[in-house]
Amino acid sequence: MFKRRHILKLGLGSLFGIGTLALGRAKCLSKKIEALDNPNRKFTVIGTTSLKERAAAKGLFYGAAVRINSLSSDKQFIANFVEECAILVPEWDLKWTSLRPNASSFKFTYADSLAKFAQAHGMLLRGHTLVWEQSLPKWFWQDVNSGNVVQILQQHIQTVVGRYAGQIHSWDVVNEAIHINDGRTDGLRNTRWLQLMGPDYINIAFQMAAKADPQALLVYNEYGLDYDSRDDDAKRLAVLRLLEGLKSKGTPIHALGIQAHLKGDSTFFNPQKFRSFLREVAALGLKIIITELDVLDKNLPEDIKKRDRIVAAAYEEYLTAALQEPAVIGVLTWGLSDRYTWLAEDNSSGKLLPLPFSLRPLPLDADYNRKLAWNAIARAFDSAPRRQSEVGEFILK
């Protein structure tokens, strides 16, 4: 009896200890996050010209990812999208799950209507994405094997890339192929593609895409390249090795896409280190596009003013550094308005996450007002060095 009570006491005691420790750590963390906020910072912008005009004034392009439903039904959103964006990338509609209801057919309804929209509004169009571990339909996992995979990929790329050939500014040919924790010395992610085709699948996909559309800029797109952390160091290195290997093999690859899903509460951005990575990529003769920028504000203070300032500071610091590098030719955010952001989705169910407050990771709020994040992006474009070439030049390499 005594023993039991003693153990119970000990147990409660250590639980209490852990609780206090966790509380202490949370307090410390919240202090660190509060310290990210500078209430005096103003993010002043001269004039009201759009982001696309500010970017274009420097020979850059700005645009955003978009969902078919927002562009087909939300007039106010459309007006804002057209005003701010010079380039459009479908958030869903060029992925396998959208295009490939089954192994023998293609469904282009949504992608076609987005392509038409871009054309009607004089926007560039990006393609996302041809080879990715995610967004693969059920039939793919069941029916594709090492005997038929090359033919299925070939048919997919030829049909999809071929259909939009001449209309696409750049294609994300391969997405997220590096995962340093998968135990391979080359850092390649252990994807279905790798398992079925071996490491040359990346080169093969680029070759196929180049044949189907010799004009599009062909991009390798990746996340986790932004911060001064051990994981990001290793990932940058693995990406550089991959790019070097592809270049030395003569793979038709033209650019690195840096997704740039930033975290508002991170204190690990190191502009010097990031810029030296960009220089190394540029030294391989590659262009760079910031392809999916947003700033997650989930762990930031609930106070909207504070949250918006911290998010804006992250945008400005990151973009100011990135745009110093002449190889960076354009920027896209992963959405334009907080009304439509993937960050509010639950990864597993795809449904909206139950959060204590609405997320504010994008340039416009849910009612399409420009936020400080918009100012931050505008300021970064305004202070960027002017590129020698015009935006249009990048359509034809």
Contact between 226 and ligand XIL per CB under 6 A: no
99's CB contacts (< 8 A; 6+ apart) are 93, 106, 107, 108, 111, 160
Tokens of 386: 């002017």
Per rule CB under 6 A, count of chain residues that contact ligand XIL: 7
Is residue 346 within 8 Å of 75, Cβ to Cβ?
no
What the block records as the tokens of 320 is: 């100011």
- Under rule CB under 6 A, residue 350 binds ligand XIL: yes
H-assigned helices in the chain: 2-34, 51-56, 68-73, 75-84, 96-99, 109-120, 138-143, 149-163, 192-197, 201-212, 230-249, 271-283, 304-324, 372-383
Smallest gap, in angstroms, from Cβ of residue 65 to ligand XIL? Answer: 7
Among 49-57, 101-109, 204-212, 342-350, the segment contacting ligand XIL (CB under 6 A): 342-350
346 is a contact residue toward ligand XIL (CB under 6 A): no
Among 228, 284, 342, 382, binds ligand XIL (CB under 6 A): 342
Q: Which is nearer to ligand XIL, 201 or 381 (CB)?
A: 201
Least Å from the CB of residue 343 to ligand XIL: 8
Contacts of 183 (CB under 8 A, 6+ apart): 190
Q: In the bound complex, what is the minimum distance in angstroms from residue 81's beta carbon to ligand XIL?
A: 16
325 belongs to the catalytic site? no
Residue 170 in the binding site for ligand XIL (CB under 6 A):
no
- Burial class of 361 by CB neighbour count within 10 A (0 to 12, 13 to 18, 19+): buried
Which member of 37, 84, 91, 265 binds ligand XIL (CB under 6 A)? 91
Out of 34, 200, 231, 345, the residue judged to bind ligand XIL by CB under 6 A: 345
Q: List the one residue out of 82, 76, 88 whose CA is nearest residue 115.
A: 88
Kindly write out the interface string for residues 109-148 of this chain, putting x where it contacts ligand XIL by CB under 6 A and - elsewhere.
----------------------------------------
Question: Is 333 one of the binding residues for ligand XIL (CB under 6 A)?
Answer: no
Minimum CB separation from ligand XIL for residue 291, in Å? Answer: 8
Give the whole-angstrom CA distance, residue 299 versus residue 105.
43
Rg (CA), the chain: 23
User: Applying CB under 6 A, which residues contact ligand XIL?
Assistant: 91, 175, 259, 292, 342, 345, 350
Question: Which residues are part of the catalytic machinery?
Answer: 176, 292
